[in-house]
Structure 1
Amino acid sequence: MSHDDFQTEPVRGLPENLPAGEEILWQGQPDWWALARESLSLYWVAGYFAFLFAWRTIAGAAGESWAASANAASFFLVLGAIVCALLVLIAYVQAKSTVYTLTNRRVALRIGAALTMTLNLPFRQIANATLAKRANGTGTIALELLPGDVTLSYIMTWPHVRPWRMKQTEPALRCIPEVEKVAALLADAAETAVAEPVISRIPAPDAVAAE
């Protein structure tokens, strides 16, 4: 029997229904293969084990045949394949459990495979957005928050953060397809939302009896 861990969500990717006047402009998820390459450094890990294999083969060839040396070093290839498979699995699970939502009022990130949480980032809390695009059209949009408004844990929000920005964590829409189109939507929505005046409700003064 199929089971949806998020079937209790009133709106996909959001913990509650949208308030009046708010609408979803875009929803998406990370590309799992791009996430494995960029956030989990899949190619670097594979290259590291390939280097160990080559080093062990060359070093062992001094005292035995190349075939015997390569056979002894094949342990590193097997171990590397297992580690890379685990990284790909982690990236796939992370991507499939993530939903990025862009509305006309905020950016929301439902993240976490084991421990799920939702980050709600109103446009008025975002100071700047940085776009990093890859040649295949995927990319990352990092959100720089206003100082003091929100404090996020780098570890708790990884890999949905801008890499190595630990002092001031920047949540990010990681490895999303058609990143330029999403960035344009975000820019237009943020400009419109921030331009709207904020009206604070002030309690009416108590009525004074006429003399």
Structure 2
Amino acid sequence: MSDDVLPRGLPAPLPPGERLIWQGRPGTLGLARRVFHLDLVAAYFALLALIEAVSAGRAAAALPLLGLGAAGLAVLLALAWCSARTTHYSLTDRRLMLRIGIALPITVNLPLHQIEAAGLRRFADGSGEIPLLLKAGTRLAYLHLWPHARPWRLTRPEPMLRALPDADEAAARIAAALAAANGQPVPGWSPAAATAALPGHLAAAGS
């Protein structure tokens, strides 16, 4: 693979014999809502504005708070957009790569044989998140991964593919790649069948 045809998100051409299977990236709105908590911040400022309007006895009193809230939401959306634009997840037949970081991009390489289990959490909008439990002895820093880490898994961080619009397809391909890497039967290529092969103890991803 030459540099002029290098897929976006790969830091360098793949070694001979390694095959690219899938690439994906987070959705901006999903990151804004589930990483930067856009909904909670909006509800907080709306509540403050309501209290201010009731206390002052006029709706106009809430306008400064609403303006401040709108500015805060714009900042969060901008952060989510930048994070989504600078993130690439790449799956090969040997490893899973996370190209992450807004100001200082880094690439986290996860050989498939070091991934003990994976899970899938679907959301109502069809997107989803996939956490990856690494085998004991595989060390990664939570702060280096954030926000691409399962929340609150601080002592044993779990990388997590966040806000994937095509989570079912990603789960299917990851399940098949993990099975092949571990010499197990490859599940059927439908998302439902392959997702069922993902270990159930990670099914509640994001909790």
TM-score (ref. length: structure 1) = 0.81
Where does residue 162 of structure 1 map in the other structure?
150
Aligned-residue sequence identity (percent) comes to: 43
Instruction: Kindly name which structure, 1 or 2, has the bigger radius of gyration based on alpha carbons.
Output: 1
Where does residue 107 of structure 2 map in the other structure?
118
Where does residue 70 of structure 2 map in the other structure?
81
Where does residue 27 of structure 2 map in the other structure?
31
1:134 Cα deviation after fit: 0.8
Instruction: Please state whether the residue corresponding to 2:158 is helix, strand or coil.
Output: coil
Deviations 1:53-74 (CA, angstroms, capped at 9, x unpaired) = 011111222xxxx2xxx22221
- Unmatched runs of 5 consecutive residues or more in structure 1: 1-6, 197-211
Aligned match of 1:21 in 5, 17, 23?
17
Instruction: Please state whether the residue corresponding to 1:189 is helix, strand or coil.
Output: helix
The residue type equivalent to 1:17 in the other structure is P
Do the aligned partners of 1:9 and 1:15 also contact (CA within 8 Å) in 2? no
Do the aligned partners of 1:99 and 1:109 also contact (CA within 8 Å) in 2? yes
Separation in structure 2 between the aligned mates of residue 119 and residue 9 of structure 1, nearest angstrom: 22
Where does residue 203 of structure 1 map in the other structure?
none
Deviations 1:89-109 (CA, angstroms, capped at 9, x unpaired) = 000010011110011111100
1:14 Cα deviation after fit: 2.0
Where does residue 90 of structure 1 map in the other structure?
79
The residue type equivalent to 1:71 in the other structure is A
Deviations 1:164-206 (CA, angstroms, capped at 9, x unpaired) = 222211111101112011101111111111218xxxxxxxxxx
Answering whether residue 123 of structure 2 is matched by residue 134 of structure 1, we say yes
Do the aligned partners of 1:9 and 1:16 also contact (CA within 8 Å) in 2? no
Where does residue 146 of structure 1 map in the other structure?
135
- Unmatched runs of 5 consecutive residues or more in structure 2: 185-207
Aligned match of 2:175 in 183, 187, 190?
187
The residue type equivalent to 2:183 in the other structure is A
Q: Which runs of 4+ in 1 moved over 3 A?
A: 7-11
1:9/1:173 Cα in 2 relative to 1: closer, same or farther (>3 Å)? farther
The residue type equivalent to 1:35 in the other structure is L
Separation in structure 1 between the aligned mates of residue 109 and residue 14 of structure 2, nearest angstrom: 12
1:16 Cα deviation after fit: 2.2
Separation in structure 1 between the aligned mates of residue 102 and residue 164 of structure 2, nearest angstrom: 18
Separation in structure 2 between the aligned mates of residue 34 and residue 24 of structure 1, nearest angstrom: 25
Separation in structure 2 between the aligned mates of residue 155 and residue 133 of structure 1, nearest angstrom: 25
Separation in structure 2 between the aligned mates of residue 156 and residue 189 of structure 1, nearest angstrom: 25
Separation in structure 2 between the aligned mates of residue 55 and residue 153 of structure 1, nearest angstrom: 42
Separation in structure 2 between the aligned mates of residue 159 and residue 8 of structure 1, nearest angstrom: 30
Cα RMSD, aligned residues only = 1.8
